[in-house]
Structure 1
Amino acid sequence: MKIVLTGSLGNISKPLTEILVKAGHQITLISTDPNKQARIQAMGAQPAIGSIQDLPFLIKTFTGADIVYCMNPLNFTMRDLDAWDSNLDNYIRAIRQTGVKRVIVLSGWIAHLLNSVRPEKKFEALQDVSITFVRPGPFYSNFYHLKDMIRQQRMIVSNYGDEDMVAFVAPEDIAAAIVEEINTPAVAGTKVTYVASEELTCNQAAQIIGEAIGIPDLQWKAIPGEQVKQGLEATGVSPEVAGLLVEMQANMHNGKAQQDYYLNRPVLGKRKLRDFAREYATWYHQN
């Protein structure tokens, strides 16, 4: 099949490309970085160098595809959400104009609960298209962003934590779940696939990370959302984006994220947090 992937050579799209090329699919991988063109070609994929913000480029790249995989990661350095939201609109326009019939969207396990943005609703407006929303939990790699907090405060703080259960996930397991979805016959309309590698309370996760880095009493504390929002804004995050992050975390603390997840519980992936923690510890002590 002709499959178009977004995400360049990121933690999900790189292993996804490798698996799909090996399986004999014709893969086009979108990247904004022309320096990655040779690496993409060496993997056996066709590079498409451009931006998803460029609608004509997206239409050209999607033309003739059997499946497109769409991701639109949130960048917390942006000043507002308009650019992020416009990327979704470009996806919708390109899919409609090119007649792509199967779409796999990287979403998130709280995406359907958000009020400030509604990413899945935009795709649900597509007619005669098979759409799968892949909803992973928080990535293991998020711990990389917590390095300074852990070093300075010797704890993790957010507006979820303590005994809140989180379905953590490794990017490799997300790639495997997308491959499984591609190999599953398409269904009419929309469907949801959750992805998780390990279900842990925040305190359990903190203990695993803490033991690996030499802070065995590391804890993960839940604090009020307004306090988190003020802290984010103090680091330069815009009020709009900070508010979205707090809203996302609130749904993990109030139990709403877990409700639908438990009703559609996936088979857990292979990579566990202790596997990641060993790599994280090496990085933590070198940076």
Structure 2
Amino acid sequence: MNSIAPHATLTGSGVDGVDIPIVGIGTWPLTGSECTASVTQALALGYRHVDTAENYGNEDAVGLAVRESGLAREDVFVTTKFNKDSHGDAATVRQSAERALKRMGLDYLDLFLVHWPNPAQDLYVQTCESLVGLVETGLVRAWGVSNFKPVHLQRVLDAGMVPPVNQVQVDPEHAQHDVEQFNAASGVATAAYSPLARGSEVLNRAELVDPAARVGRTPAQVALRWHLQQGRIVVPRSANEERQRQNLDLFDFALTEEEMARIDALDTGEGPRLDSDEFGH
């Protein structure tokens, strides 16, 4: 039987009660027919949240899969993100949304994120203001940010806005406690990308292997369950059918407090792969 993830509720400036499936399918770096096939497969398995971005170069492929899935549009939650050349006033941000919708062949976006703050450009606060206004047009249901540090979020908060979500890199070795705690204290939901520590050997660690053996699951499922029990939204990426199925099959087992603490202890204290004060597009 196919699983469908439970929902969390996004709230924030301009957004009041938008439900988001807490497990989504990531799509980077897939493009073209490979991306469409992966998303089509994921939707057939029960995924109802798809994560893409302008910079991934696959919004067209994602949109095709959504349109041809046989599912009602309102049953699929679509997240995309936009680049720094679209930061700025209301007209600029609206044009970015319209271009994304045209690429995807959709009438609205469920979640539209500032992909990187690009602080040297110093337009992200104005961009958030533009996003709040964009929700009122109906082109997007919710807005948010990605890769924002507490210092970036604080400036947005000081301008009187609360982003509904901040999507950041979180995995057992890069827990980013300072970011997550600031998000939570500010009423901002945390979404984790690369939740399985891409390129890491962490899934071979006893802290994940041991509970996996106890509950009869994979270490990757244990890592994703760790995220969910800490209240995060997750967007793992896999094109493999069995792994897609496993990554969604997370809701009939639980980790103990001791197991959670052991996984917590894997945190190296290091920041994410890319420093959002220096990197951006």
Larger radius of gyration: 1
TM-score tier (shorter): 0.3 to 0.5
When normalised by structure 1's length, the TM-score is 0.33
In the superposition, the TM-score normalised over structure 2's length comes to: 0.34
Q: Which has the higher contact order (CA 8 A, sep 6+)?
A: 2
